[in-house]
Amino acid sequence: MTETKVQTLSEMVAYQPGSVVSRKVLGGKGGNVTLFAFAAGEGLTEHTTPYAALVVILDGEARIRIGGATHTVAEGETITLPAGVPHALDADVLFKMMLVMIKDG
């Protein structure tokens, strides 16, 4: 069992110049929760996953493309990534996010 303690999500992952930093904070058969910190100019290329996901912006903002539509999502906002739909993201500025991936079955 993991230790239970109060933490601040945005402080659990740090920015690194020219990098995308990730930290898995919870995971199991039903899904996982991962924190990301993106340096300005970084991003994730278009891809699909078989699982639905929720993105929560913790700091800054990002451009997120889902199925051809582009959304600007800022601190405190969320967006859902449907399973099987191509998506990508770009960090024009520093930003941090929490990704909650839910696996069916």
User: How much is the pLDDT for 104?
Assistant: 74
Q: What is the pLDDT of residues 15-36, one digit of tens each?
A: 999 999 999 999 888 899 999 9
Distances (CA, A) of 42 to 27, 45, 56, 82, 96: 25, 10, 18, 22, 12
CA separation for the pair 46, 9 (Å, rounded): 26
> Where do the H-state alpha helices sit in 33-96?
none
- Answer yes or no: is pLDDT of 1 > 60: no
**Higher-confidence position of 104 and 94:** 94
- Answer yes or no: is pLDDT of 3 > 90: no
Sign of CA dihedral 80, 78, 61, 22: negative
CA separation for the pair 79, 61 (Å, rounded): 12
Q: What is the pLDDT of residues 33-85, one digit of tens each?
A: 999 999 999 999 999 998 899 999 999 999 999 999 999 999 999 999 999 99
**Higher-confidence position of 104 and 37:** 37
Q: What is the largest CA-CA distance in the chain?
A: 41
Domains in the chain, start-ordered, CATH in brackets? Answer: 16-102 (2.60.120.10)
